[in-house]
Amino acid sequence: MSALLGLSSIEILALIAITSVAGLVRGFSGFALSAMVMASAVLILPPVELIPICWWLEMGASLLMVRGGWQDADRGVVKGLVIGSAIGVPLGLALTTSVSVETSALIALSLLIVLAGTQLVKLRLPFLATTPGLYGSGLLAGIVTGLASVGGMVVALYVLARDAPARQMRGSLVLYLFFSSLVSMGMLLAYGVMDLTATLRGFAFLVPTLCGVLLGQRLFTPKYEPYYKPFCLSLLIALASIALGRTLLT
């Protein structure tokens, strides 16, 4: 298994734990799977190798959750975000494949902290509630997806600006991540980021991820809805800050 995945036994165990927790958060909140994997696993693999792995994990989670997302989501908003994202993904991929591993890691982790922080303090930008704001948010989400596979954070910030209910926010994120994943596969193949090793790694960590998603879905009840986003964002900022500190010290 280690030889097949190009990882040590310790790295495999660490990634199983990381993807299980990330799956749980995804099932609970509707987003942050890739963001949590990027924040935690960037010390094991560079972002350019984590991005295709995250694609498989996101697609697996989306297939489990898409039915509920379709029922709860604002589909008009999702359509605009997906169109903008499709334009932005190749721009992000071009950037992440043209800089060093260290620079890519620093950019990815810094983006995670900034985006999570703006949501945690409940920053609202009225411009985002306009049509240009919709497509602009999708474009930025696509760029960030190509760079660090955390476009869901940008979309979450957009939904927050619209004062959407927690259930609608979660459903819109689930639907966006499903359709944007379909679009981004072609981009990953075109840039040579999705290869056999990445695919094997994605399938290897799919089972622990889906187990986490199923558990997270069971935790998403009206009782816990007011607490789910602050918890996820605080955890994400903590993980990204730790990883960023270690990256700067190495």
pLDDT per residue, tens digit, the chain (250 aa), is 788 899 999 999 999 999 999 999 889 888 888 888 988 898 899 888 998 999 999 999 989 998 877 888 888 889 999 899 889 888 887 887 777 767 777 777 787 788 778 878 877 767 777 889 899 989 988 887 777 666 777 777 787 667 677 788 888 888 888 888 887 787 778 778 888 999 999 999 999 999 999 999 998 887 877 887 788 778 878 888 887 887 777 6
Helix (H, G, I), strand (E, B) or coil at 44: coil
**Residue owning tokens 């303090």:** 121
How many other C-beta atoms are found inside a 10 Å radius of the C-beta of residue 100? 9
Tell me, what DSSP letter sits at residue 32?
A: -
Kindly list the distances between the CA atom of residue 41 and the CA atoms of 12, 69, 86, 185, 240, in Å, as whole numbers in the listed order.
11, 27, 26, 21, 10
pTM of the entire predicted model: 0.79
